[in-house]
Structure 1
Amino acid sequence: MSKKQWQGWGPGERAEQHYLVQPRALAGGGDVRHISEFLRACGWREKSKSGGPLLMESPSRALRVAYDPYVIPGGWTIHGKADALNGEWSAHLGRQTPVEIVAGLTDALTRPRSAHAPNVWAPLQEQHWQTRAEGEHYVATSPDGSASLRYQHGPDGSATWWAGARDTQHNGWTASFTPNTPMQLVQAFATELANPEPVMRPRGRVPSSAQIRTWSVSVTPSQLGAWQQARITAARAATWARNSVHNARPRTKTRPHAPAGGARTRR
Structure 2
Amino acid sequence: MRKKQRQGRGPGEQPEQHYLVEPRALAGGGDIRHVSEFLRASGWRDKSKKGGPLITESPDRSVRITYDPYVQPGGWTIHGAARGHQAEWWAVLGRQTPVEIIAGLTDTLTRPRSAHAPNVWAPLEEQRWQTRPEGSHYTATSPDGAAWMHFRQDPDGNAVWWAGARDRQGNGWTAQFTPSTPMHLVQAFSAALANPEPVMRPRGRVPHSAQIRTTSVSVLPSQLSAWQHARIATARAATWARNWNVNRPRTTARPHIHAAGSRARR
Normalising by structure 1, we get a TM-score of 0.91
User: Secondary structure of 1:85's match?
Assistant: coil
Give 1:73 deviation, angstroms.
0.6
- What corresponds to 1:166 in structure 2? 166
- Aligned pairs (5 A) from 1:1-267: 3=2, 6=5, 8-248=8-248, 250=250
User: Secondary structure of 2:30's match?
Assistant: coil
Give 1:6 deviation, angstroms.
4.7
| Pair 249,211 (structure 1): closer, same or farther in 2 beyond 3 Å | farther
- What corresponds to 1:264 in structure 2? none
Deviations 1:32-60 (A, max 9, x none): 00000000000001001111000000110
Instruction: Return the alpha-carbon distance in structure 1 between the equivalents of residues 92 and 3 of structure 2.
Output: 43
Amino acid in structure 2 at the alignment position of 1:53: P
- What corresponds to 1:258 in structure 2? none
Give 1:250 deviation, angstroms.
3.8
User: Secondary structure of 1:30's match?
Assistant: coil
Instruction: Return the alpha-carbon distance in structure 1 between the equivalents of residues 3 and 147 of structure 2.
Output: 37
Runs of 5+ unmatched residues, structure 1: 252-267
Residue identity over aligned pairs, in percent, reads: 72
Instruction: Return the alpha-carbon distance in structure 2 between the equivalents of residues 112 and 91 of structure 1.
Output: 19
Give 1:193 deviation, angstroms.
0.2
Higher helix share: 2
Give 1:68 deviation, angstroms.
0.2
Runs of 5+ unmatched residues, structure 2: 252-266
Instruction: Return the alpha-carbon distance in structure 2 between the equivalents of residues 6 and 131 of structure 1.
Output: 45
Instruction: Return the alpha-carbon distance in structure 1 between the equivalents of residues 137 and 34 of structure 2.
Output: 33
| Pair 209,3 (structure 1): closer, same or farther in 2 beyond 3 Å | farther
Normalising by structure 2, we get a TM-score of 0.91
Give 1:83 deviation, angstroms.
1.5
Amino acid in structure 1 at the alignment position of 2:89: W
Instruction: Return the alpha-carbon distance in structure 2 between the equivalents of residues 48 and 105 of structure 1.
Output: 20
User: Secondary structure of 1:40's match?
Assistant: helix
User: Secondary structure of 1:223's match?
Assistant: helix
| Pair 3,216 (structure 1): closer, same or farther in 2 beyond 3 Å | farther
Instruction: Return the alpha-carbon distance in structure 1 between the equivalents of residues 83 and 122 of structure 2.
Output: 26
Amino acid in structure 2 at the alignment position of 1:124: L
